[in-house]
A = this chain, B = another copy of it.
Amino acid sequence: MRISKDHIHDSSMNELSVHKENFDFLSNNLSKKNVDVKALIKKLSDFQVAIPSWALGAGGTRFGRFSFYGEPSSLEQKLEDVGVLHALTQTAGAVSLHIPWDVPSDYKAIKNMADELDIKFDAVNSNTFQDQKNAKESYKYGSLSNTSVAVREQAVAHNLDVIKIGNQLGSKSLTVWLADGSSFPGQNNFQTALSNTEDSLKKIYKQLPDDWKLLIEYKPYEPNFYSTVIQDWGTSFMLANACGEKAYSLVDLGHHLPNSNIEQIVSVLMLKGKLGGFHFNDSKYGDDDLTVGSIKPYALFLIFNELVYGIQNNPQNPDLAWMIDASHNIKDPLEDLIQSLEAIQEAYAKALLIDQYELRNAQLNNDVVKCQELLQDAFRTDVRPLLESARLQSGGALSPIKSYRSLDIRNELIKERGKHNIASGL
């Protein structure tokens, strides 16, 4: 299934004049405040977020899964879905593959298809949290941290395979999310587990192509419920330093203890030149993997404030690998991802509106009230016309959700694929 630019354009026609009015009014207002609207829209257009291949089907919980109709069941169909998202939003120009779920059978064909859809292959993801069919060793008690040499070697080898696969597709980074840990006090020797992990990561790092990055995730708990080997940014940062300059920390918004100040973590990692990637989602309780911006949009804005600041002031960091990592348990996955993309762009646009010069002055004067006013002024601004404009200029939809529905895309997918396809993944 492919959507033509014409169809998208047509689907937006009705509301174009309203958009134009709103945009002109906002643009005019912002210009009076010396905002370079054109430059801002350019930044929005340039900001591309990868879609993970495992998020295009319905997700589930340990209590079960309610499937969704028309799910993609092959890598080709997954790419098609990302293509739909990108065509509508013009901000989903990348896909992030999960191995072994998405090993291409024909690399050239897959690359061509992605090229046609204007989709890049971003970070590749390894999987050592599940046992693969016919695998010799089990990850039940850990992978890169396992006390058994054989298990660690299998896990390292798998990561090296993932690099090879990614390399053939043009990926430039490997994301390691390590589920290793323990569910009971005493189960793990923390020091052994950490040392083993460091050794394993170094072995992977050693084989990393020169223009690649190694992105190390952290997470406090789940699927282990007492300890996780890489439990927090401090551990991830320490391991990245131990590996070398191409190794970085990756922040997933859902991987923190209650009440964590994530924006400060982002800021410190950028100061130290060690922020490499970012997984977007939202949550209220744990790693809930909800739609980005659906629960705490102000926190997302504060995080983007640090990202914008870091991008402008911390050249010591690489280009970041942006990805959405959410689970779609009760919404149409594609609609859910559109809402996430919209929320990301909104937070980014608002963060770009913060008057950094005034903020710096207010901070120097300890004018706390003013600091808050400056942030809230940006956050309270309705930036939707800017997002619309960025999309329109690139050939996307004025309102992606509305176009998705008016173009009846889900039904088209069901027609093509049937109702009971099941996507591999979570």
Interface on A for B, CB 8 Å cutoff? 22, 25, 29, 59-64, 66, 129-131, 138, 140-141, 147, 179, 182-192, 194-195, 220-223, 225-227, 231-235, 237-238, 257-261, 263-264, 267-268, 270-272, 283-286, 288, 290-291, 293-299, 302, 305-306, 309, 313-314, 327, 329-332, 335-336, 339, 346, 359-360, 362-364, 366, 368-369, 371-376, 379-382, 384, 401, 426
| Of listed A194, A232, A332, A381, residue having the most chain B CB within 10 A | A232
Q: Determine which residue in A61, A66, A186, A221 has the highest number of CB atoms from chain B within 10 A of its CB, and name it.
A: A186
A225 touches B284 (CB 8 A): yes
Contact of A147 among B59, B61, B183, B364 (CB under 8 A): B364
In the complex, what residue of chain B is closest to A147 when comparing beta carbons?
B364
Contact B284 A369, beta carbon cutoff 8 Å = no
Question: In the complex, which residues of chain B have a beta carbon less than 8 angstroms from the beta carbon of A183?
Answer: 288, 290, 329-330, 368
When the two chains form their complex, are residues A369 and B335 in contact, meaning their CB atoms are under 8 A apart? yes
- Complex contacts, A380 vs chain B, CB 8 Å: 346, 382, 384
Q: Does the CB pair A366–B147 fall under 8 Å?
A: yes
Assess whether A261 is in contact with B231, with CB atoms less than 8 Å apart: yes
Most chain B C-beta atoms within 10 Å of own C-beta, residue among A183, A259, A364, A376: A183
Cα distance A263–B227 in the bound complex, in angstroms = 10
- A336-B369, A346-B380, A369-B401 given. 18 additional CB < 8 A pairs? A22-B29, A25-B25, A140-B330, A183-B290, A186-B374, A187-B363, A189-B360, A191-B268, A220-B260, A220-B261, A222-B286, A226-B261, A232-B232, A238-B268, A257-B258, A285-B286, A331-B368, A380-B382
Q: Which of B59, B227, B296, B362 contacts A261 (CB 8 A)?
A: B227
CB distance from A20 to the nearest CB of B (A): 13
A188 CB to nearest chain B CB (Å): 7
Query: Is A329 touching B66 in the complex (CB atoms < 8 A)?
Result: no
Q: How far is the CA of A372 from the CA of B184 in the complex (A)?
A: 7
Q: Are A363 and B189 in contact (CB under 8 A)?
A: yes
Closest to A257 in B: B257
Chain B residue at minimal CB-CB distance from A236: B234
Question: For residue A186, which residues in chain B have a CB less than 8 angstroms away from its CB?
Answer: 305, 359, 362-363, 371-372, 374-375
- Contact between A294 and B184 (Cβ–Cβ < 8 Å)? yes
Task: Kindly list chain B residues whose C-beta atoms are within 8 Å of the C-beta of A384.
Answer: 380
Q: Is B130 in contact with A63, judged by CB distance below 8 angstroms?
A: yes
A166 to chain B, nearest CB (A): 22
Residues of B close to A22: CB separation below 8 A: 29
Contact (Cβ within 8 A) B373 A271 = no
Q: Which residues of B contact A195 (CB under 8 A)?
A: 271
What would 15 A/B residue contacts be, using CB atoms closer than 8 Å? A64-B130, A66-B138, A182-B368, A186-B363, A186-B372, A195-B271, A220-B259, A225-B285, A234-B237, A257-B258, A291-B372, A293-B376, A295-B298, A298-B298, A339-B372
Interface pairs A-B: 6 shortest CB-CB: A234-B234, A186-B371, A225-B288, A190-B267, A61-B223, A382-B382
Closest chain B residue to A142, Cβ basis: B366
A100 to nearest B CB, angstroms?
Answer: 13
Is there contact, CB below 8 Å, between B330 and A368?
A: yes
Q: Which residue in chain B gives the minimum CB-CB distance to A332?
A: B369
Are B189 and A426 in touch, CB under 8 angstroms?
Answer: no
Residue of B189, B285, B335 touching A220 (CB-CB under 8 A): B285
In the bound complex, do residue B295 and residue A297 qualify as a contact, i.e. CB atoms below 8 Å apart?
no
Residue of B nearest to A283 (CB): B225
Assess the B267–A191 pair: CB atoms within 8 A: yes
Query: In the bound complex, what is the Cα–Cα distance between A369 and B402 (angstroms)?
Result: 11
Assuming the contacts A185-B294, A259-B284, A295-B185, asked whether A331 and B369 have C-beta atoms less than 8 A apart, the reply is yes
A187 and B293 alpha carbons, distance in the complex (Å)? 15
Q: How near does chain B come to A54, taking the closest CB pair, in angstroms? A: 11
By beta carbon, the residue of chain B nearest A288 is B225
Q: Is the CB of A231 within 8 A of B264?
A: yes
Known: A226-B261, A233-B234. A63 touches B129 (CB 8 A): yes
Chain B residues with Cβ below 8 Å from A140 are 66, 330, 366
